[in-house]
Each structure stands twice: as structure tokens, then as C-alpha cells.
Structure 1
Amino acid sequence: MNGIPGAGHRGGRDGGGAGEEVARLREEVRDLRAQVRSRPLIAHAQGILQERYRLPDAESAFALLRRSSQRFNVKLRVLAEAVVRTPRPNDPRELWFPGRVRRKPPVLDAVGVDDPGRANRGAVLGAVLSQTLAITGTDMGNVQIADRAAKGLRMEHHTGLSEHFVEFFAFVGEDGTSCAKAARDVALTTVRDVAADPVFTDAARHTILAAGSRACHSVPLVSESGACLGMVSAHLERPTKDLHPAQEKALVATGHQVGRWLAWHERTVVLDALEHLHAQGRSTDTDAERDTRTDS
């Protein structure tokens, strides 16, 4: 014994506290980097809203986005992307989407979600990651969502992976990784040995191996129309063989179920948030018109 309290005990109070603080700071850094990556898209949405509703400044447009984001529990980036890619409303109308048909949410029993109509997207993505890891028998994995504005996959959830892995794969383009191939093919993709598979770029391969992964399964989250809306990947410590047919069937079914729910979420919850944003924006625009008439 060296006489230092807690020495040699990984879980000692002081060491544990320091480790927790380091983890917290790393998470803050990742959040800040994510904000920096999202800033151009959010700024684009702010400009659209500022022009559309004659808002006085970008801060007013951001406040409009934030209110609808918080009310409907939709990530700010998700709402901003919807503003950018959704055709503008017919301004004289009170509703952005008149005559919209509302459908019941698809079931999510494959991932253990009992009330899919009340579930938020983060909880569903966490559930599909947990289920995928349980099926494949590992504790390393991540979930990505399709980013149509940037044409790639953006990481949203992860567990058991290194900080460098999370940062390196925060956004994945259309080539150079197994998840990009799975998204392109809209098919479950297994990499039996990361060290030998030609699907990876050298930098991607090095990052995956450094994180302790030697094999992976990438499962697309597929909508009813066949579009890939996201990806869940399980990473294994050792090279692997093909999945058992029962495992493959369970993973594909899970990916389709969650993909259908994500499509419903886009058509329902995200559009509800846009509708609320439109109502708030029209109210602000009307107030501005009234003030202009009063001044003149």
C-alpha cells in the first residue's frame, strides 16, 4: 500500500468525482460542437421566418422557433430543418396545412414503448438502440438520423463508444462507412471484420478499431414508403459471422417499426410544431401591421 487514500481503487470517491466531472465537461464540449454544426441550418430557418412574418430581427425568429420546439418537444435542429425544406404556407390562410389527415401512430411493441402517441423521439431512439444491442449481444452502439439538408446521417444517441468515435462520426456522408452503405442500399449490413472490410475509409477504419470495435451490424430505420430515415448500429469487440436468421428477422422488423413511427412523427408532431409556429408568426405579423397603421 502506498498510503494514499483511495489509491488503487478505481471507484474511490475522489477519483470517481473527478471522472464524473471529466465526463460532464466532455459532454458539454460535444454539445457545443453539435450547436456549431447546427448553426448554419438554424440561421437559414431564422432568415426564412424573419422574412415571412416580417420579424424585426433574427432573435425574434429564434424565439419563435424555440417556443414551438419546446411546446412539442421537437429538437430545435429538427424544427429548423422542417422550416427550410417544407414548402411555405399560403400566407392568407390561418393554417399551414389545411385539410391535413391525422393518422394513428404505428405500434412500437418491438422496442417496448407502450404509448407511441405520447412517446418523444429521443425516447424511441434510445429504445431502439437498447433493443438492437440486446438482440446482437453487445453494449456498444449508436443511432443516427437521416439529415436530408446535409445528405447524410447525424448521430443522436450512443453508448459504450469512445469520445473520439462520437466526434468523428457525428455526421456521416454518403460513402466510406457501413452505415452509409446500409442507408444507400436500405438493407441490413454486417461487417464481419472492420480491419479487412473495404467499405471503410482508412480514417474511419482507424477510428472504429481504436474504439474497440472489430465488427458491426447496421440496421436501417425504414418508412412504409421504403425511405431510410435513420440507422441503428451495434458494434462488437471481435470479428463476427453472419447473424442467425432469427436475429436478422428481429432486427429488420424493429428497424421497419421504428422507421414507420419516425415517418408518423414527421407527418404529425413536427407538422403540429410548424402549424403552431405559423400561428405565432401570423399573430406577430398582424401586430406589426396594426402598429404600422397606427403610426401612419
Structure 2
Amino acid sequence: MMRMATADEWHHLLQDPGGQRATNRRSRMGQTMVIDKGMGLYSFSDFIQMAGTHVDIVKLAFGTSVLYPTDLLRKKLMAAKENGLIIMPGGTLLEAAIKQQAVRSFLDTVCSLGFNGLEVSDGTIELDRKQRTSLIKEGIERGLYVVTEYGKKASGSMIDPEELAFTAECDFEAGSRLVTVEARESGVNVGLFDAEGKCDEGTLEKVLRKVSDSSRLMWEAPLKQQQVYMLQQIGANAHLGNIAPTDVLSLEAMRRGLRSDTFEFGSSSEPYFYMI
């Protein structure tokens, strides 16, 4: 028997017209990764209260983690984990640790502070396959949720589908949960996107065809037009990253067909008749 909604509760077909999101938020389907470039504790708490149920991963951008007062950082990490979120430092900080030959200290501190996620990337440095695999495995051994990132951060660096496919297969085999496709926080002139932030359709098609399990790719898509495009091409449960904290609800609305851009995602219903 269908439960009737109370007067102060939205009808279930309004909450999730497509029927794919509301009951599956912790199934790791259609993950949303937020980029946090320096929210204070109160702002972070407000963000979690308002949008935390629609977020899976929070990345403390670049190397900003080392700039936090330690007590404040611990409180942010605790707040994220108490709400079931993965929280990790940006991959650039690990790259800095590699450059400074301080990887062991970096990982010790990541675990001591209370991070539960790790991003392994080589967007700025060169990292050989053996080192990359070793870092993935060590993160997993330390109990961290490991994601990797493919792509360079330099302006004009585009995606090589063959190289991405090879890297992804090796990363998955090493234990990475997801492979993130680089687009930086700008989403312009890098990765899949041109100088206007438009996706190279041909490259995307090749990537989807060559990567054996493309459902484990997370696409950095900081701009609304990119989010709409990726959802339309891949589906409501595409993993999307580098989402601004203020854009989480609008993205979730698009995933559910509650925004004009993706209104077709909503399930069809019987014709509406106004009852007098």
C-alpha cells in the first residue's frame, strides 16, 4: 500500500521524479565531489546541513590543508565523517610531498589528522607507473578511500584516450575506487574542455569506448554547461567532480530532472487534470 504524503512533505514523485537518486544516495551511484577552497568551520557546517546528503566526497583543494589551524582542520574532518562523507587533501599536496621526498610523513599526517580519503595524481609532476601503483596500494593499506586523477594541469593539456584507458586499467587493478578526469577548478582549456569550456565530443566518445569500466570515471565539471552536458551524455548517475559547494543542490536538481536543463530525466506520469 502506497504511503500518503503528509501536508508538509513533498510527494515522492516531486522529490525524485526519475526514481534513481533518493533511495540510493549511499550506494556510491552518481557521486558528487565538492572542491573546498577554504570554507570556514561555520560555513562548512552550514554546507553540510544544507547539502551534505547530496555529496559523497569533499576535496580540500590544492595544498590548502597545510594552511589550516590544526584544531579547525580536525573539526572539519570530523564533521564530514560524522555525515558519511569522504574527505581528502588535494592531489597537489601529495605531489608536493613527492617533490620534497616527504611522502611517508605526509601519509602519517593524513591519517593522524583524520582524513579518510586520498587523491593520487601527477597533474604537475611526472610520476612513473611503479610509483603511482605503490602510492595507491599504500593508501589502501592505511584504510583510505583512494581515488586517482588522470591529466595534466597546464593550460592546453588535453586528454589522450589511449593513455587514459591504460592508466585507468592499471589504477583500478591497483585498487583505486575512481579515476578522475582532470579539468581543474576552471574547466577551461584543459582535459576534455576547450577555451570556452565546451567538451570535445569526439574525445569523450573515444574515452567511453576504450575504458572498460567507464562507470568508474569521475569527470571534473566545474561549470554548469559541463555538468548538463555530462549528465545528458552519460546519465543522471555520472560521477562529477570539482563542484562548488554552492552548486551542489542545483546539480542534484539536474540529476533528478528538477531543472529545465534535464527535465526529461523525470519519469513520465499520467496526464494532469485540474479537479474543481
Q: Which protein is richer in helix relative to its size? A: 1
TM-score, normalization by structure 1: 0.23
Query: Based on CA coordinates, which of the two structures has the bigger radius of gyration?
Result: 1
